A and B are shown apart, each in its own frame.
Chain A
Amino acid sequence: GESVGLHLPTLSVQEGDNSIINCAYSNSASDYFIWYKQESGKGPQFIIDIRSNMDKRQGQRVTVLLNKTVKHLSLQIAATQPGDSAVYFCAEIPYGGATNKLIFGTGTLLAVQP
């Protein structure tokens, strides 16, 4: 029979509020992390990346925080807009692994309420 898919976590926020999307990774040796955004009907798009020698990196309206102690990655979106509604994926490359083998998380659906 058909296998049961994973339930996609959903974050619902009001337009103008800040959003925080979280991701837990499993490999303590992971060296490089990326956040992707996937809108309906499109492929994932690169948002921001961070290396393991950094704790924080900022882009335009987005900030990525890395806590290696607890193996946690977060994406903060300031002043969330309706166009930010999408599924957000974190991805990692394990240190010493194939440099082109990204491991993706399940994803979080961000729903922005007007």
Chain B
Amino acid sequence: ETGVTQTPRHLVMGMTNKKSLKCEQHLGHNAMYWYKQSAKKPLELMFVYNFKEQTENNSVPSRFSPECPNSSHLFLHLHTLQPEDSALYLCASSQQEGGSYGYTFGSGTRLTVV
């Protein structure tokens, strides 16, 4: 248990479905992130939230919609996805103060779009 919990661990959805990924951090961090990890590719930053405010949207298609209701919770709402969106979606959190910039990652949600 890393302190960052993601649910569900696995998700299979059709291209017309709507689903949400959930991330919760118990570390008191003030920044949260969504990353996409595809096979044999670098981690791709999708969204950044600082103190609940979105500070980065890395040219992510609108079929991915993030939500950050508070500093501890982060959601990724999915709709009308494509098969190429199948990947491991990782949530991370970090604390910006104190000079520590390392991320703590969750275990990810393995998403398969059929």
B-binding residues in A (CB < 8 A):
2, 5-8, 32, 34, 36, 41-46, 49, 89, 93, 98-102, 104-107
Complex Cα gap A49–B94 (Å): 14
- CB-CB contacts below 8 Å: B19-47 with A: 31, 33, 38-43, 45
Q: Is the interface of A mostly helix, strand, loop or mixed?
A: loop
CB of B40 within 8 A of CB of A7, answer yes
CB of B40 within 8 A of CB of A8, answer yes
Cross-interface CB contact of A102 among B2, B39, B40, B101, cutoff 8 Å? B101
Complex Cα gap A81–B92 (Å): 27
Interchain residue pairs A-B with the least CB separation, the first 7: A43-B105, A5-B40, A104-B43, A44-B105, A100-B31, A46-B102, A43-B107
Q: Is B74 an interface residue (CB 8 A)?
A: no
Q: A34-B102, A106-B41 are in contact. List 15 more A-B contacts (CB 8 A).
A: A5-B40, A6-B40, A8-B40, A43-B2, A43-B107, A44-B103, A46-B103, A49-B101, A100-B48, A100-B94, A101-B45, A102-B45, A102-B101, A102-B103, A106-B40
Chain B residues with CB below 8 A from A32, complex form: 101
How many A-B contacts if CB must be within 8 Å? 65
Interface string of B74-114 (1 = CB under 8 A from A): 00000000001000001010101000011111111000000
Nearest residue in B to A102 (C-beta to C-beta)?
B103
CB of B84 within 8 A of CB of A2, answer yes
Chain B residues with CB below 8 A from A36, complex form: 105
Tell me whether A104 and B42 are in contact in the complex, defined as CB-CB below 8 angstroms, given that A43-B2, A44-B90, A45-B2 are known contacts: yes
Chain B residues with CB below 8 A from A101, complex form: 45, 48, 56
Chain A residues with CB below 8 A from B7, complex form: none
Count chain A CB atoms within 10 A of each CB in B39, B43, B92 and give the residue with the most. Answer: B43
Count chain A CB atoms within 10 A of each CB in B56, B103, B104 and give the residue with the most. Answer: B103
The 28 sampled A-B contact pairs (Cβ below 8 Å) are: A5-B38, A5-B41, A6-B40, A7-B40, A8-B40, A42-B107, A43-B4, A43-B6, A43-B92, A43-B105, A43-B107, A43-B108, A46-B104, A49-B102, A89-B42, A89-B43, A93-B101, A98-B48, A98-B56, A99-B96, A100-B94, A100-B101, A101-B56, A102-B45, A102-B101, A105-B42, A106-B40, A107-B42
